[in-house]
Amino acid sequence: MFSFVDNAGITRVKTVPMHRLSRAAQYGVGASPTFDVFSFDDVMNPGRYVSGPDGDLRVVPDLGRLVELVCQPGWAWAPADKYTQEGERHPGCQRHFAARQVEAAGRAGLRLSMAFETEWALGVDDSAFVPVVTGPGYGIIRLGQVADYACDLVDALERQGVSVEQFHPEYALAQLELSVAPADPVAAADDAVLVRHTIRQVSLRHGWRASLAPCIDPDGAGSGAHVHLSLHDERGPLLTGGEGPYGLRPVGEAFLAGVLRELPALVAVGAGNPASFLRLLPSRWAGAWQCWGRETREAALRLITGVAGTERWAANAEVKCLDATGNPYLVVGSVIAAGLAGVAEELRLPPEIHGDPAGFDEARRTTAGVARLPATAAEAAERLAESKVLAEAMGPQLHDSLLTVRRAEAERYGRTGAVELVELTRWRF
């Protein structure tokens, strides 16, 4: 099974029998270029570069990440890159975009580690959502109801080479959360794909169904896919040990300032589905505000310094305004591109915020430089269209295809009611 993630955040696959693996690794497996412009509802949306049935791409597995699936016996999985029939890199390949940004960071003397948090809601295997998990948020009652399931899930991931750091019941309806060890950015995105598939498969084996959609209850909190990052140069960590805010070194601060500046466009990349905006609301710890702060869970950019004595290995930053409708390769690549632009321009962070900006009056938010992130899919798509940083980093074809998808989803579902939108997306992610 070779997977690639489209611009709507849906993981697509091609499969071959094991005896065909070596040939597939050499020549790839065919896939239509139109996958670049699929929206989450499987509609093909013509763009400037991809608009019809012509052409073919080759999906080439990365055998360095090939793993036998414990969660799906008899199968193995590998992430894939996309090439043209002439053997050149496809300019719309999201995984290669992520790799290019890692290379750009390396040329700047920087090394990043990243990891995705995964949140999901666990329900009965049915078209409607009937929660499996009940009881207090974060409570031991919830954990007791899924204890065997959690053991099976963690065991499957560990045997598939993914190191699990935490598992716990979360706050929202029937919600659980899992955190894994950081890795280089492309590997972190690979891990996110594998973790999500493993969650779904282990859930099915228990007779349940996992939803990673951003919202299953319009009146409650939703599920995110926050990304954590740390940054190093040849002297060591850049998010501690300096004289900037909370010990940030100048390059580390500039990187975070670049990410902060591009957050409105990053919403379209990592949470641009219309259903995402049922989650991305103030006062729900979703990161709906363009601001930063130390351990400030309402801020879209949260600085985590670690406890005293752990800063050199624990200091990291969390981008919170993301969910599972975002392609993880686009997310890591775009975050890196935004940060590198901040480094190149020697940006500095504005003053941090404390508390919930929803409680600030307009004058206080203006003075603090706090702005609401896009509140609709259409608004987020336009912020992406305006981002010169991301357009240059992605290149014209990838940028246009992503923008085509996000605009199409916004146009078709921008006026859809919350309940219907939840039903449309509940089992798509």
Query: 7 with 36, same domain?
Result: yes
Query: 146 with 34, same domain?
Result: no
| Of 351, 388, 387, the residue nearest 367 (C-alpha) | 351
Q: Please identify, among 91, 119, 137, the residue that sits at the C-terminal boundary of a domain.
A: 91
**CATH code of the domain covering residue 283:** 3.30.590.10
Containing structural domain, residue 57: 2-91
Query: 413 with 382, same domain?
Result: yes
Query: 68 with 210, same domain?
Result: no
Pairing mode of beta strands 67-68, 175-180: unpaired
The radius of gyration of the chain's CA atoms, rounded to the nearest angstrom, is 21
Query: 80 with 120, same domain?
Result: no
| Of 336, 333, 329, 323, the residue nearest 258 (C-alpha) | 336
Query: 277 with 393, same domain?
Result: yes
Confidence at residue 53, expressed as pLDDT on a 0 to 100 scale: 85
Percentage, residues of the chain above pLDDT 90: 96
Confidence at residue 298, expressed as pLDDT on a 0 to 100 scale: 95
Can you give the pTM of this predicted structure?
Answer: 0.97
**CATH code of the domain covering residue 28:** 3.10.20.70
Query: 63 with 104, same domain?
Result: no
For the cut 90, the answer to whether the pLDDT of residue 230 exceeds it is: yes
Query: 46 with 152, same domain?
Result: no
Q: Please identify, among 66, 91, 116, the residue that sits at the C-terminal boundary of a domain.
A: 91
Average pLDDT over residues 334-361: 96
Query: 186 with 283, same domain?
Result: yes
pLDDT bracket for residue 197 (50, 70, 90): very high
Confidence at residue 233, expressed as pLDDT on a 0 to 100 scale: 97
Q: Please identify, among 67, 91, 115, the residue that sits at the C-terminal boundary of a domain.
A: 91
Phi, psi of 264 (to 5 degrees): -60, -40
Query: 235 with 328, same domain?
Result: yes
Phi, psi of 395 (to 5 degrees): 90, 155
Query: 83 with 152, same domain?
Result: no
pLDDT digits (tens, 9 = 90+) for 100-136: 999 999 999 999 999 999 999 999 977 889 999 999 9
Q: How many domains does the chain have?
A: 2
HEC letters along 99-148? HHHHHHHHHCCCEEEEEEEEEEEEEECCCCCCECCCCCCCCHHHHHHCHH
Percentage, residues of the chain above pLDDT 70: 100
Confidence at residue 126, expressed as pLDDT on a 0 to 100 scale: 79
Residue 197 parent element (H or E): helix 185-205
Query: 275 with 408, same domain?
Result: yes
pLDDT digits (tens, 9 = 90+) for 57-92: 999 999 999 999 999 999 999 999 999 999 999 999
pLDDT digits (tens, 9 = 90+) for 20-59: 999 999 999 999 999 999 999 999 999 999 988 889 999 9
CA 137/CA 21 separation, integer angstroms: 45
Handedness of CA 74, 80, 86, 87 (dihedral sign): negative
Average pLDDT, the chain: 96
pLDDT digits (tens, 9 = 90+) for 157-191: 999 999 999 999 999 999 999 999 999 999 999 99
